[in-house]
Amino acid sequence: MANTFSAKQFLTYFAKARTVYNTHSPFVYELTKQVLEDDRHYYAFDELEALRKKMLDLEREITFVDFGAGSHSMGKTTKRKIKDVAKTSLISPLKAQWMFRLINWLKPDQMLEIGTSLGLSTLYMQSAALNAQVITLEGNPSSVTLARRNFDIFPYGKNIDIMEGPFDNTLSNSLQKLDKLGLVFMDGNHQKAPTLAYFEQIKPFLSEDSIVVLDDIYWSKGMSAAWSKLKGDPQVRLSIDLFHFGILFFRKEQKEKEHHILAPSKWKPWVRAW
Ligand SMILES: C[S@@+](CC[C@H](N)C(=O)[O-])C[C@H]1O[C@@H](n2cnc3c(N)ncnc32)[C@H](O)[C@@H]1O
């Protein structure tokens, strides 16, 4: 999703963010090492960025049903160029790599994505855990068609299960298909009330090994409010603020509830271990 956060919000995050050099909790230290510090380049990055480039070049128009951007446009059908959908909706390369590294580290068995668009983030998720079961939800029919085509291009995309329809219909059906929900990527309706409602619906299906990744936690006042509420949820034991993403963990071994604001050490090169 294209970001609309302000520079002030980013500076507030940045001032507070710790890096691998001043993070002391063992699990969080490992997370920073595996997700933010790992600079290995994977073959999938090149092929998926080539796919993004292809989408960004497509002038063809599709019918686009607007689902969740706000009450004014909700349900409105417009014509949009595929390249414009790609420009405004797709996960950025930085976030895609963080997501890939998180999944590659923790290897969840089952993943659910709320908001497929053209399928780029879905492919990043599946490529990081080739044996995982992936279900992704999308309401816009032409996005579903394009995502299906994109899934067919890659051997690891062929098993992705895309469920078409409003989340209000597909979310509960998708949850019935999953019995070991490892990771949920919430990247659909970026508003407070639906975000909280989807979380409540997902909650009974989470275990202490599950992870919920919430996209664009500073995208709007509503998303910031949703993030504050979710990180305060009693079932959440650990919350991680990466500015572009919020990550929730439910690990019971985490006795004290913790919240961490983290950034890659290269963003703060003056912070070093003594
Ligand atoms: C930000 S895009 C997803 C981007 C994708 N995860 C990626 O990074 O490549 C959000 C998608 O959610 C869909 N969406 C939003 N609200 C929805 C709803 N209530 N029901 C179904 N689909 C919805 C939109 O059509 C859009 O394609």
For 7-29, the pLDDT digits (tens) are 888 999 999 999 999 998 999 99
Determine the distance separating the centroid of ligand 1 and the alpha carbon of 143, expressed in angstroms: 9
Amino acid at 25: S
Atom nearest to 85 CA in ligand 1: 27
The least confident of 24-28, 51-55, 261-265, 269-273 is 269-273
Per cent of the chain over pLDDT 90 is: 85
Question: How far is it, in rounded angstroms, from Cα 92 to Cα 97?
Answer: 9
Q: Would you say residue 274 has pLDDT above 70?
A: no
Residue closest via CA to ligand 1's atom 8 equals 91
Q: Which residues line ligand 1 (CB under 6 A)?
A: 1, 67-68, 89-91, 115-117, 120-121, 138-140, 143, 166-167, 187-189
What does the pLDDT read at residue 2? 52
Atom nearest to 117 CA in ligand 1: 27
Q: Would you say residue 116 has pLDDT above 70?
A: yes
The residues with which 133 forms a beta bridge, in sequence order, are 110
Question: How far is it, in rounded angstroms, from Cα 252 to Cα 229?
Answer: 20
Element spanning 29, H or E: helix 26-31
Amino acid at 256: E
Taking only Cα atoms into account, the Rg of the chain, rounded to an integer number of angstroms, comes to: 18
Question: How far is it, in rounded angstroms, from Cα 156 to Cα 151?
Answer: 8
Ligand 1 pocket test target in 99, 138, 146, 170 with most atoms within 8 Å of CB: 138
Long-range contacts of 79-85 (CB under 8 A, 24+ apart): 82/55, 82/58, 82/118, 82/146, 83/55, 83/56, 83/57, 83/58, 83/59, 85/55, 85/117, 85/118, 85/143
Question: Cβ distance 136 to 160 under 8 Å?
Answer: yes
The least confident of 73-87, 120-134, 240-254 is 73-87
What does the pLDDT read at residue 6? 81
Backbone angles phi, psi at 2, to 5 degrees: -65, 135
Per the prediction, the chain carries an average pLDDT of 93
SS3 57: helix
Work out the pLDDT band at 70, boundaries 50, 70, 90.
very low
Determine the distance separating the centroid of ligand 1 and the alpha carbon of 117, expressed in angstroms: 5
Between 4 and 205, residue with greater pLDDT = 205
Q: What percentage of the chain's residues is helix, strand, coil (to nearest 5)?
A: 45, 20, 35
Tell me if the pTM is above 0.85: yes
Determine the distance separating the centroid of ligand 1 and the alpha carbon of 231, expressed in angstroms: 22
Ligand 1 pocket test target in 52, 63, 116 with most atoms within 8 Å of CB: 116
Residue (of 205, 227, 206) closest to 216 by Cα position: 227
Work out the pLDDT band at 273, boundaries 50, 70, 90.
low
Determine the distance separating the centroid of ligand 1 and the alpha carbon of 264, expressed in angstroms: 28
Question: What number is the average pLDDT over the span 96-113?
Answer: 98
Long-range contacts of 204-207 (CB under 8 A, 24+ apart): 205/175, 205/178, 205/181, 206/181, 206/235, 206/250, 207/180, 207/181, 207/250
Q: Would you say residue 144 has pLDDT above 80?
A: yes
Q: Would you say residue 130 has pLDDT above 80?
A: yes
CA 119 to chain centre: 12
What does the pLDDT read at residue 62? 94
Question: Cβ distance 9 to 258 under 8 Å?
Answer: no
Q: How many helices (H) and strands (E) does the chain have?
A: 10, 10
What does the pLDDT read at residue 24? 86
Q: Would you say residue 139 has pLDDT above 90?
A: yes
Determine the distance separating the centroid of ligand 1 and the alpha carbon of 238, expressed in angstroms: 26
Question: What number is the average pLDDT over the span 129-136?
Answer: 98
Work out the pLDDT band at 271, boundaries 50, 70, 90.
confident
Domains of the chain, CATH where assigned: 7-59+89-267 (3.40.50.150)
What does the pLDDT read at residue 71? 45
Q: pLDDT digits over 166-219, tens only?
A: 999 999 999 999 999 999 999 998 899 999 999 999 999 999 999 999 999 999
